[in-house]
Amino acid sequence: MVSTCSATLPQSPVCAKAAISKPPIVIQFTPPGSGCSIIFGKNVTAAAPGSAQGLYLIVSDVDAARAELLRRGVEISEVFRGADGVYAGTNEPYLFGRLRVSGPDPEHRSYRSFASFHDPDGNGWLFQEITSRLPGRIDSATTTFASANDLASALRRAEAAHGEHEKNVLGGQRDENWPEWYAAYMVAEQAGTELPA
């Protein structure tokens, strides 16, 4: 059994141990709560170093993830968004085209804000901010948060939406059942189902 390593990235990936007869350098990152991992190492692929481009890492807060890489000395782009389907331009391609507009999505919609960087081999990566999944993308019977920061962000979004609920639906009255409303909002947001009004 070879211990692959211990490392921390913005979502605190967990390293795994590999049952391999020879001691290669292999690192497996699995973000908490994720069903997917990323493996780095020698003889993992026949692809040339730097040939993988457009690799996505999903984060709940693109600004915080970018700040963490900057703190660690990684060169990373400013946060950007797409130019509404413009697929021509001088920037590196990404999900929404080749033209990048500086700053996050003005409405902070999921799937719309990015930051890009390259690893030491030259492979191209993008952080993509997702706070609410599209319907059917996750198990709606399970609600989990990968970190205290993710939970705090979800509580802030629920608080803002609940303020509108109290103002518009309850006529400015305090909602005594706010914990149940917050819970329903946070579960629906994560599952990608209809949010409470």
| All residues at 6 or more sequence positions from 35 whose CB lies less than 8 Å from its CB, including other chains | none
Q: Which of 193, 163, 157, 168 is nearest to 178 (CA)?
A: 163
pLDDT value for 46: 85
Q: What is the value of pTM for the model shown?
A: 0.56
Task: Give the ranges where 35-177 is alpha helix by DSSP (H).
Answer: 62-71, 148-168
**For tokens 């920061």, what's the residue?**
149
Q: Are 96 and 54 in contact (CB under 8 A)?
A: no
**How high is the pLDDT of residue 189?**
82
pLDDT in tens, the chain (197 residues): 233 333 334 444 444 444 444 556 778 877 665 667 778 777 788 888 888 888 888 888 899 889 999 999 999 999 998 876 554 555 666 555 667 888 998 888 888 899 999 988 888 898 888 877 666 666 667 777 777 877 888 898 899 999 989 999 999 999 998 989 988 888 888 777 788 88
Residue 106 three-state SS: coil
Residue 91 is predicted with a pLDDT of 60
Reduced to 3 states, what is the DSSP secondary structure of residue 90? coil
pLDDT of residue 50: 86
114 neighbors 80 (Cβ within 8 angstroms):
yes
Residue type, 80: F
Q: How many residues are present in the chain?
A: 197
pLDDT of residue 89: 56
- Give the other-Cβ count within 10 Å of 144's Cβ: 12
Token pair listed for 147: 């970190």
Please check whether residue 128 is in contact with residue 111, taking contact to mean a CB–CB distance below 8 angstroms: yes
DSSP 170: S
